[in-house]
A and B are shown apart, each in its own frame.
Chain A
Amino acid sequence: MKVEAIEYGDRKVYSVGAFNRGVSSWLQRLPTVWVEGEVTELRRSDRWASVFFTLKDPQDGSCLGVSMARGQFDALRLELVDGDRVHAYGRPELFEARGEFRLRALSLERFGLGDHLAALERLKTKLAAEGLFAAERKRPLPLLPARIGLVTGNDAAAKRDVLTAVTTRFPPANVLVAETYVQGPRAAGAVVEALGALCREGVDVIVVARGGGSFEDLLPFSDERLVRAIADCPVPVVSAVGHEQDTPLCDLAADVRASTPSVAGRLLVPDLVQLLERLDRSRAGLERGTRRSLERERRRLDGMHERLGRAPRLLLERRRAKLEQSAGRLRALSPKGTLERGYAIVRAGEQIVRSGGTVQPGELVDVELAEGGFGARVEETR
């Protein structure tokens, strides 16, 4: 639309109507978008063509006037009351007669807790399908972190509680605190930035701490950017957000979830007293173990020594026994033994007589017995 200006010398001046028309036509080029807010000051009359209400940003209180054709509004049967959360689909518009800027709503949807939960559930399903919450992604926390990063709100009790839990348990702990927004529309981006800043500074574990709050207060901790940043964080992350019953998605992406600040303390640092005791026990074990090895070696040596002393006598006895055995066998095998059992050796001259045919009747033979012997004459041969 062409907007005509009146010219006074070199000054161009617009009438109010022309100005409003100009702005209005410019505004109409803006796209149609969804806007979320709480409904307040709903004004409706059967005599009006439009209903009017104000959308309020629950985080920072910003307001936006909205108008909507009454027929359309009534047809939706939303039964809205002040404070109801809605999504309005519309375009910016200038009410030219009054120079009032507002959103011209084409459609309106109630967006309650259920819708939030449904959206959250969809995101959860999507991220889970990507494997962002998988158990095998979880990293173990360092036993003794050189430096702990803490992301927290600036005056948060959560900050104090985590610091107390950590330093009570482990006084030598080094903590680098990154204060940031933990609520409102900036929180998710700010926490993502804080994570990055801490990693650049060099920490080997990060805890994200935020006290309990309403479902909506904790929503930034289910923000997709934040959840992804936690999953992608180069160092392990402990999520200490909200209370036991809250499960923002950051809990699922973190390597460990701490339900309370003292649980976070236990996860982050070892108990110094216990650690020192354990070290001292180990040291005592070194000494005890070495002594045990030495004693065992000495016992073995003593045993060897004793056996060494016994060895010559044993050897002698063994030899004597062997000799006896040999003598016995020798005796059993000698002719002497045989004669003692009643046998006799018959000789004709120097030859031992083994068969009757080798001697003649009347020949003289010599008979040897166990004890002595005698001469004899052969009577007959067979």
Chain B
Amino acid sequence: MTFEEAQRELEQIVQQLESGRPGVEEALALAERGELLYRVCAARLAAAEGKVEELSRQPETG
């Protein structure tokens, strides 16, 4: 799952929950899934190291 997918689903879940439509069972299940998605996103950010690498120079042609 990409960061975007996780974030989009998380925000959809929040919207659904805030509409107050889902019943308790469903709300709890949604919240659980939302928390998982939140952790996926946070972990994805934490995993990025922040590095700048140089690709070795192309062999000269011509």
Residues of A at the B interface (CB closer than 8 Å) are 142-144, 146, 163, 167, 171-180, 186, 189-190, 193-194, 197-198, 201, 272, 275-276, 278-279, 282-283, 285-290, 292-294, 296-297
Partner of A143, one of B3, B35, B58: B3
A282 pairs with B35, CB closer than 8 A: no
Partner of B17, one of A163, A197, A289: A289
Which A residues touch B3, using CB under 8 A? 143-144
B31 pairs with A186, CB closer than 8 A: no
Partner of B45, one of A176, A189, A275: A275
Partner of A190, one of B18, B38, B58: B58
Question: Quick one: closest B residue to A196, CB to CB?
Answer: B58
A163 pairs with B20, CB closer than 8 A: no
Interface mask (B20-32 → A, CB under 8 Å = 1, otherwise 0) = 1011101110110
* Separation of A139 and B20 alpha carbons in the complex (Å): 36
A176 pairs with B38, CB closer than 8 A: no
The 10 residue pairs across chains A and B that have the minimum distance between CB atoms: A289-B17, A172-B48, A293-B27, A285-B14, A144-B3, A286-B34, A172-B50, A178-B55, A290-B31, A143-B4
A198 pairs with B55, CB closer than 8 A: yes
Partner of B50, one of A173, A178, A279, A287: A173
Shortest CB-to-CB span from A181 to chain B, Å, is: 9
Shortest CB-to-CB span from A43 to chain B, Å, is: 32
B7 pairs with A143, CB closer than 8 A: yes
* Separation of A381 and B60 alpha carbons in the complex (Å): 144
Residue B1, interface by CB 8 Å: no
* Separation of A188 and B33 alpha carbons in the complex (Å): 49
* 22 pairs of residues in contact across A and B, judged by CB atoms under 8 Å: A143-B3, A143-B4, A144-B45, A163-B52, A175-B51, A175-B52, A179-B54, A179-B57, A186-B61, A189-B62, A194-B55, A197-B58, A279-B38, A282-B10, A282-B14, A289-B14, A293-B17, A293-B20, A293-B22, A293-B23, A293-B24, A297-B23
A289 pairs with B24, CB closer than 8 A: no
B55 pairs with A176, CB closer than 8 A: yes
Which A residues touch B27, using CB under 8 A? 289-290, 293-294
Which A residues touch B53, using CB under 8 A? 174-177
Given contacts A279-B42, A283-B35, are A194 and B58 in contact (CB under 8 A)?
yes
B20 pairs with A286, CB closer than 8 A: no
A174 pairs with B51, CB closer than 8 A: yes
A282-B14, A290-B30 known; 7 new pairs, CB 8 Å cut-off, are: A142-B4, A179-B54, A193-B61, A276-B45, A279-B41, A282-B7, A294-B24
